Each structure stands twice: as C-alpha cells, then as structure tokens.
A and B are shown apart, each in its own frame.
Chain A
Amino acid sequence: MRDQPIIFAGLALFLGLITFPFWFNLARGQTARGPDIQRPGAQLQCAAPTDYMRTSHMELLIQWRDQVVRRNLRRVTAFNGKVFTASLTNTCLAQCHTNKAQFCDRCHNYSGVGTPYCWDCHNEPRAARASLAPAFTDLGSQP
C-alpha cells in the first residue's frame, strides 16, 4: 500500500497523456470542424465525379502521369468524354483548381497528408503565385 502515491501518479500521467489530443486542441481553440475549402466553380467541367475526386484523385493523377510521362499520351479523356491536355500546373491548377491554398492545401493540412511531394517539383501557375523574380525573359513557356 505504500506504493499507492506512485501508482496514482502513474495513472494520472497516463490519463493525461492519452487525453492529450483532446485538451491540447481545446486549449488551442481548434475544433473538429472540417476544412474550410473554396470549391472550384460549379460551371466548370469536371475531370471526374466529386466523390471519386474526393477519395481517389491521387489515383487519377498517377494514371494520367504515367500516361503522359511514360507513354507520351498527353490527351486524356475524362469520365464525361471531355478531353484534357494533361498537365498538373497548366491544366488542373490553371483551368479548374485555381485556388491551391484555399482548396488543395486546406484539405491536405486538415487530413494530415502534409505537403504532398508533388509540389517539390510541380509549380503553381504563374498567374496565381507571387513571382520569385520581378522580371525575367520568358524564353521557354507556352504561348
């Protein structure tokens, strides 16, 4: 019985640690409310149904990526028959998902995906981002 203080202290520590996510988020004022995302406009033609995109857009991206990079088939057909010229930066982000920070990033951060390493190489379209250098001679871009 003389171990009682130690046992209770250990229990208290354990309870504190295991409930950490709850009281820590409460203290920070974060709730379980979903990410506040700005969806792309409803009038745009979609590459796939919304629920499919929500669950499996990475599958679509990888499929299109392999088609473009490894088989040089740049014209890809969406579920509704619409044909896109596949390019993450110049099509997906430029034509529909123009708001990477308010759409893509918010959901990724919320769900703990972090920064998908796609963005290590693929850029945001020029119009959406603050330019790195004030002016540079553009010799290689699309017209």
Chain B
Amino acid sequence: MSTDRRAFLTLAGGCALALAGRAARQALAAPQSSPAQSRRWAMVIDAQKCLQQEGCRKCVQACHQAHNVPAPAEPRHEVKWIWKEAFEHAFPSEAGEHLRESLRGNPVLVFCNHCDQPPCVRVCPTQATWKRAEDGLVMMDWHRCIGCRYCVAACPYGSRSFNWVDPRPHLASLNAEYPTRTKGVVEKCTFCEERLEQGRPPACVEACPKKALVFGDLRDPASEVRRLLRARYTLRRKPELGTQPQIYYIV
C-alpha cells in the first residue's frame, strides 16, 4: 500500500491512544479490592509507670530477641526497634528549666509511631514500606527494600535503623521462627504484626512488668486505649509536623 508518513503517524498515534484508553478504563473499572479500614492500632504508654522500675529493659529485650534484632560491635552501626530515650530528646519542645522533676532527664520508651500520615511511606521509591489499609500499621517488606535510606532521612523520630553490616554474626540468640534481615535493608518496629495475626499482643506489651504499655484499637470505643485517651491528657511526639503519630504518652 502506498501511504505517506503523516498518514502513518496519525494512524499509529490513534491506535496508541485507543490502547491506552482501553487500559485506563480497565484499571478504573476494576473494583478496588483494598480492604476497608476496620482497625487503627495504637499504643498508650504510661511514662510514670515505666519509671517505677528503674533500669528495666524487659520490653527492649523481648522485642529484640523475638525479632532477631542484631547488636553490631560498632556503636555507629546500632540497630534498635525500641529503646529508652531521655525525655528532652523524645519531646524537644517540652524541654526547659522548669520541666517537672519526675520527667527531667528520665527515659521514655520510643519506637516507630506508626503514623497516620507517615513521611517515610511518602518517600519510599519502591513501596518497600507502606501503610496497611486495614489497620494502619506502617509495614516493611525486606524483599523489596533497596537500602536507599530515604525513609531514614524522612522519619522525624529517628525510628528506623539501617543494617550497615550483616546482622547474623551479631545475634546473641536466634529466634528461628522469625527471619533475620540481611545487610543493606532498613528495619523498624512492626507492631509485632506476626503476633497480631495470632491474636497476641506485641512482645513489648506482654513483657512489661508494670503494664505501662497499652495496645489497642482506636476504632473500638470500648478499647482500653480509647478509655485512657478519654481519661488522661496525652502527649505525642512532634505533632506539629502533621504525621499523626499513634503512640500516646501519659506523662
């Protein structure tokens, strides 16, 4: 057949447009099968109860052992999912000369806030971290993480750790049922989602001798966390950043 270039290009462009339109219509028509949000997991931490037992690290030990969190030799390669941080560091805007004695210099528990508007999720280029629709957990997929550490830069709370070295040689003990990670990926608290699946509370909550950590569903008005939030005033870390953190502190 004889045709000129203009006609050919017009035809080709039209076909491409039609195909693209078909694909778009298909994508839009497909029912969005993401589960509705039925739960919003959150935690209320009673800082004063935690301080009753000085030097206690049971929650940290429970979490780190259950999840094979390594303890590398070099301090700068530290990996931690949950730890105790001085009050002034956890709440810099509350620091001051007349800060209440019971809080000044004392540690509070910090870990991933499982924000409702997580900046780490916003920046991840591969969706290796994402917010789970059905319960609001900020998840990690260690198969997909490329180790770019953009999420670490984005987190306003310092909750995330990168595996600078192979973690396995630095494990004091191994929980075989839970995978380790490999070098080159970022990790953080997962709210013990594997335990939640079995209807068990997070390891830290279970381990606390003072029951200072209360875990529950904010969407259930009868839950313990909702009751506490109604009864007591709570602080959240850096709420002005709009991240909507879901760890509430009774101080």
Contacts and interface: CB of A to CB of B under 8 A. Distances in A.
Q: A and B touching (C-beta < 8 Å)?
A: yes
Interface string B195-218: 101100001000100000000000
Contacts of A70: 130, 141
B231 interface: no
A29 B198 CA distance: 52
Contact of A72 (B61, B134, B142, B143): B134
A140 B176 contact: no
B179 interface: yes
B132 interface: yes
A39 B181 CA distance: 29
A139 B66 contact: yes
A132 B68 CA distance: 12
A100 interface: no
Nearest to B67: A140
Given A72-B132, A72-B134, A121-B182, A140 B175 contact: yes
Given A72-B132, A132-B171, A140 B143 contact: no
A94 to B, nearest CB: 9
A89 B172 contact: no
A132 B179 contact: no
Contacts of A126: 176-177
B179 A133 contact: no
Contacts of A67: none
Contacts of A136: 65, 172-173
Interface residues of A, number: 27
Interface string A99-143: 000000000000000000100111111100101110011111110
Contact of A141 (B172, B177, B182): B177
B37 to A, nearest CB: 13
Contacts of B63: 140
A90 B177 contact: yes
Nearest to A135: B173
A140 B134 contact: no
B207 A121 contact: no
B16 to A, nearest CB: 31
B113 to A, nearest CB: 20
A6 interface: no
Given A69-B141, A132-B173, A138-B175, A121 B197 contact: no
B62 A140 contact: yes
17 contacts: A69-B141, A69-B143, A72-B132, A74-B197, A90-B177, A121-B181, A126-B177, A129-B176, A132-B171, A132-B173, A133-B174, A136-B172, A139-B62, A140-B66, A140-B175, A140-B177, A140-B178
Interface of B: 61-63, 65-67, 130, 132, 134, 139, 141-143, 171-182, 192-193, 195, 197-198, 203, 207
Given A123-B180, A124-B176, A141-B66, 19 more contacts: A69-B141, A70-B141, A89-B177, A120-B180, A121-B181, A123-B174, A123-B177, A125-B176, A126-B176, A132-B171, A132-B174, A133-B173, A136-B65, A137-B65, A139-B66, A140-B66, A140-B175, A141-B177, A141-B178
Interface of A: 65, 69-70, 72, 74, 87, 89-90, 117, 120-126, 129, 131-133, 136-142
What 6 A-B pairs come out closest when comparing CB atoms? A140-B66, A136-B173, A126-B176, A120-B182, A121-B179, A123-B176
